[in-house]
Amino acid sequence: MAYAIPFIILMHVCTIANVASSNDLKLRSKFSSILVFGDSTVDTGNNNYIKTLIKGNHLPYGRDFPNHEPTGRFSNGKLAIDFLASTLNLKETVPPFLDPNLSNEELLKGVSFASGGSGFDDFTIALTGAISMSKQVEYFKDYVHKVKSIVGEKEAKQRVGNALVIISAGTNDFLFNFYDIPTRRLEFNISGYQDYVQSRLLIFIKELYELGCRKFAVAGLPPIGCIPVQITAKFVKDRYKCVKEENLEAKDYNQKLARRLLQLQAILSGSRVIYTNIYDPLIGLIKHPRPEKYGFKETNKGCCGTGTFEVTPLCNELTPVCDDASKYVFWDSVHPSEATNKYIAKYMELEVLPKFQFHRNCKFDV
């Protein structure tokens, strides 16, 4: 009888492993492609093809990317969506839709429509010259037309309906229109502006839904007050302290967004609209970097230049950079490093993607 207990435990462990493996396989085969909309956090090079000063197509951007070449990504290497696409066995990197050399295979497996400097508020676009969210929808219509020409209307509809749609935008709206250039403060208080931005976001999701998208992962705001450029702009004396008010307001925004996305899902038949909490994993890294586990040592300054204000044109080939960007949460004064992007992608794999599984027999703690 003494031998039976270890045997039962072993069988139980094997059963859990098999269930987890089965769930993992289901997850990897659940999505036909990855379709990405938003700002510089998910722009893989679309800004290379438009007139804007906000570009990441020059060194030192991309220095740790395969072949050490700048691609237009606003990081030293890959973005979170690249790691996520790889996890889903779709592709190693997500190409920009505006790349004129895209193959049919690349189109079918997914692209990014995002643009660095974009946001839901038209005021944001007026300042940055980025591709607006409404223009990204127009590009998506072109994409659907191309997919139909490749695989036919029936399969195209299935592919779009089974695509993982990632939406990551909103930070620029608050930076450019409320905090640093307070244009919108003349007509909104912070709560009112949050509502305004989210109303535009919900309309955006509905437009994609009407075009056939069904599976949405929608990112909330990061801890805006911990972005290095914000610490600089607000003259925070201790760089290891964030702008508390901006972080609290980002949390308020995220709580509203989570509720509204649930309400939206209820009225969009057959949809899954999943709130993606990027605030908590990022604030966790910034406040408790745990270098022995994750390798991060610098949490409030970027790797590029002084790390306090350099971004896009000011982070260039003449700018000194740190030796090892994997020790930095931020690459420049705004954007995460590749190491942070990898961390966020892993968080999404464990905490967000499983929510697209409608029928799960059990829930495992991560």
Residues marked active site are found at: 40, 332, 335
Query: What is the C-alpha to C-alpha distance for residues 108 and 143, in angstroms, rounded to an integer?
Result: 9
Q: Residue 13 CB: number of other CB atoms within 10 A?
A: 10
CA distances from 173 to 86, 130, 227, 330 (A): 30, 12, 15, 20
Give the angle subtended at the CA of 311 by the CAs of 306 and 314, to the nearest 5°. Answer: 75
Query: Token digits for 149?
Result: 């020409």
Sign of CA dihedral 84, 135, 117, 107: positive
* Rounded Cα gap, residues 126 and 53, in angstroms: 13
Nearest residue to 41 via CA among 132, 116, 113, 139 = 116
Helical axes 153-161 vs 133-151, angle rounded to 10°: 130
Q: Please enumerate, as own/partner, the contacts of 100-105 that have beta carbons within 8 Å and a separation of 24 or more.
A: 100/49, 104/150
Cα–Cα distances in angstroms (integers) from residue 156 to residues 49, 144, 148, 306, 353, in the given order = 26, 7, 5, 48, 23
The phi, psi pair for 21, rounded to 5°, reads -65, -40
Structure tokens at 257: 């967004």
Distance between CA atoms of 176 and 124, rounded to whole angstroms? 6
Q: What gap in Å lies between CA 183 and CA 145, rounded to an integer?
A: 38
Distances (CA, A) of 332 to 61, 96, 245: 9, 21, 23
From the list 149, 159, 274, the residue with the least C-alpha distance to 211 is 159
Total residues found in the chain within this entry:
366
Inter-residue contact 295 to 289 (CB < 8 Å): no
328-330 and 110-112 as β-strands: parallel, antiparallel, unpaired?
Answer: unpaired
